[in-house]
């Protein structure tokens, strides 16, 4: 037993989930993608806060705001819609003033943006659905912020003149007294940001409260969170000052004080004027815990207090008055617990302890652990599924599931490592399944996340291959001649990058909606990580999969939504054409009525096809 524990420790194993009921029921593909008769994920109970901080199981019905939007002046101009393709934390286009008398709205002018045709099969002879799609290095949208009355009459427009006309205006925030509007202004190259203050009544610029710059990128993701103490002090979050996304207490006179001095990413939750509540990765990058810190007169008082004690990933919902919070958590072997705690962390009520939804199914052994990054500077986290009825004297095929892109964290200390049920399904069918995060993903600090700067695919592929090789070195029961890889979107880009950069290593690959060349991807996301084809020609050439098509080996399937307005079909079709030119076999399957992600019957069809492809060729 001690020898086994030592082996696990050396291998970086943090937790294991035992195999159980190997001869019991197996998952269906429909169940694994959330389309079965019942859910195979842990039960949850609906809980909400009312405006007066009372718990209810009924979603509160709030009165829908009544306002009108300005009438657009011409084609390509819209008011009150989300802008910048929902980057920078943007998820809407209307911002009501706290006093309810006015609204700030985005005005988006994308008349200069190229119209991109998506093929529409629904008419008698077929046709095109035209969308505005700003590709890297090409014309982008022009954004402004207007202040309107509730009838849609424009009262003022914020007088923003920073940088260039294709700047980004993000995280629009009203002051508590409705007199001012704050905007984080980012230049198009996303290397500079000014946090500006404007008068709401006439749009005049007041001052720049702070500025940030970064040779890699700046990416503001949060609005300002004003303290509920009748002051003009607010909470600001950035990773650009101390290397991690931390919280800073600021005021409109440009004073800035760090209030979460930890080498970990944190996220704001709430405040009551006395305490600021936030979640933090400081216990572990794969755990999420709630903390609070006391603030008084613009300074912190005492040390932060941890409010969630149980190991795992906690998702919290604070009552409006910050008197208590709903705590939903799970960990690797705990399917889920829902409880209510006081603001100081005292347990008030345990609402639900979820049962294991896989009790009646064959459960495979699952492992959570770490593996060194390719540069040796970080530990990357993984989850590993062993095949049903595992016998170390036998040989098994390996499937690597990969995403690997920004804003993702595939592995954490939640139930079964944040399982996707298709992974369990494939393990039930006799496959080893491996999932790993790599440099470039989130919740690990700026150095980790920005390792991909200007060279998407390099650090990510290196880390994935390092992890796979470390697994192979300790797992003689994996058949080296039967290794497959699958991923979607950025994961599709990673799937094809892994196969073309390592010819002969992967026997089967399935890529969905893959980015093939970043010059065909949209401005906001793509230019953040890659800059433009003109300013970073080496990076674009090195990451492009077009010149690598000749190196494709094994059986490769590419799936594509024909109506995909995120990774447009030009990507995969161009790759297929290059394969034709090079005489390289490749399979391509379209979903004529689907966008970037398949839903409903199409999703079941997709995963039946993916499953069958591995069953047939791996």
- Residues known to be catalytic: 489, 564, 596
Q: How many residues does the chain have?
A: 618
3-state secondary structure of 113: coil
Beta bridge partners of 300: 295
Show the tokens assigned to 509: 């690959």
3-state secondary structure of 212: strand
Show the tokens assigned to 84: 């910048």
Which residues have CB under 8 Å from 10's CB, separation 6+?
none
The Cα–Cα gap between 298 and 69 comes to 38
Show the tokens assigned to 122: 């629904």
* Lookup result for tokens 């890659």: 530
CA quadruple 566, 487, 27, 426: dihedral, nearest 10: 170
Beta bridge partners of 209: none
Residues 27, 348: contact at Cβ < 8 Å? no
DSSP state of 25: B
**Which of 98, 17, 618, 14 minimizes the C-alpha distance to 359?**
17
Burial 402-417 (b: 16+ CB within 10 A, else e): bbbbbebbbbbbbbbb
Show the tokens assigned to 460: 């990510």
Show the tokens assigned to 432: 């080893």
Q: How far apart are the first and last CA of the chain?
A: 35
Rg of the chain's alpha carbons, rounded to an integer? 25
Spatial strand order in the sheet of 192-199: 168-174, 180-186, 192-199, 205-213
**Tally of CB atoms within 10 A around 165:** 14
**Which of 113, 226, 243, 244 minimizes the C-alpha distance to 171?**
226
The Cα–Cα gap between 346 and 236 comes to 28
């Amino acid at each position: 037993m001690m020898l086994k524990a030592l082996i696990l420790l050396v291998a970086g194993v943090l937790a294991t989930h035992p195999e159980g009921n190997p001869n019991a029921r197996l998952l269906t593909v429909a169940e694994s993608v959330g389309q079965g008769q019942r859910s195979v994920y842990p039960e949850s109970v609906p809980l909400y806060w009312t405006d007066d901080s009372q718990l209810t199981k009924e979603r509160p019905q709030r009165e829908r705001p009544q306002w009108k939007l300005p009438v657009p002046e011409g084609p390509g101009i819209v008011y009150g819609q989300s802008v910048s393709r929902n980057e920078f934390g943007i998820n809407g286009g209307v911002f009501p003033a706290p006093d309810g008398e006015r609204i700030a709205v985005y005005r988006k002018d994308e008349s200069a943006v190229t119209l991109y045709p998506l093929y529409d099969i629904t008419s008698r002879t077929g046709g095109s659905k035209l969308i505005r799609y700003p590709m890297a290095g090409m014309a982008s949208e022009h954004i402004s912020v207007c202040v309107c009355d509730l009838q849609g009459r424009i009262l003022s427009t914020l007088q923003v003149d920073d940088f260039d006309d294709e700047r980004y205006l993000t995280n629009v925030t009203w002051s508590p007294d409705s007199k001012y509007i704050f905007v984080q202004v980012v230049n198009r190259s996303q290397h500079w940001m000014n946090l500006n203050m404007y008068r709401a009544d006439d749009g005049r610029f007041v001052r720049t409260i702070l500025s940030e710059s970064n040779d890699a990128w700046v990416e503001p993701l949060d609005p300002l969170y004003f303290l509920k103490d009748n002051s003009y002090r607010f909470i600001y979050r950035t990773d650009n000052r101390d290397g991690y996304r931390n919280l800073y207490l600021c005021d409109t006179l440009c004073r800035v004080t760090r209030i979460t001095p930890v080498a970990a990413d944190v996220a704001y939750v709430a405040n009551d004027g006395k305490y600021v509540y936030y979640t933090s990765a400081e216990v572990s990058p794969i755990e999420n815990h709630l903390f609070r810190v006391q603030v008084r007169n613009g300074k912190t008082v005492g040390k932060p207090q941890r409010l969630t004690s149980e190991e795992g990933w906690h998702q919290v919902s604070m009552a409006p008055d910050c008197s208590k919070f709903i705590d939903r958590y799970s960990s690797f072997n705990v399917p889920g617990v829902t409880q209510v705690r006081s603001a100081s962390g005292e347990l008030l009520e345990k609402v639900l302890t979820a049962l294991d939804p896989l009790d009646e199914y064959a459960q495979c052994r699952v492992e959570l652990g770490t593996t060194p990054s390719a540069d040796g500077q970080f530990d990357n986290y993984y989850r590993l599924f062993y095949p049903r009825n595992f016998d170390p004297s036998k040989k098994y095929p390996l499937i690597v599931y990969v995403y690997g892109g920004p804003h993702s964290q595939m592995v954490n200390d939640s139930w079964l490592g944040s399982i996707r049920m298709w992974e369990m399904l494939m393990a039930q069918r006799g496959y080893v399944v491996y999932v790993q995060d790599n440099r470039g993903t989130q919740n690990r600090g700026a150095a980790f996340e920005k390792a991909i700067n200007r060279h998407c695919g390099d650090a990510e592929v290196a880390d994935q291959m390092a992890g796979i090789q470390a697994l192979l070195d300790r797992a003689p029961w994996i058949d080296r001649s039967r290794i497959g890889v699958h991923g979607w979107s950025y994961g599709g880009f990673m799937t094809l990058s892994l196969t073309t950069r390592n010819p002969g290593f992967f026997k089967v690959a399935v890529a969905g909606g893959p980015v093939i060349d970043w010059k065909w991807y949209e401005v906001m996301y793509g230019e953040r990580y890659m800059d433009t084809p003109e300013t970073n020609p080496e990076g674009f050439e090195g990451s492009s999969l077009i010149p690598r098509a000749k190196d494709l080996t094994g059986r490769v399937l590419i799936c594509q939504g024909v109506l995909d307005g995120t990774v447009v079909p030009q990507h995969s079709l161009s790759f297929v054409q290059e394969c034709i030119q090079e005489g390289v076999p490749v399979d391509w399957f379209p979903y004529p009525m689907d966008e970037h992600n398949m839903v409903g019957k199409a999703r079941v069809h997709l995963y039946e096809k993916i499953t069958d492809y591995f069953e047939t060729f791996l």
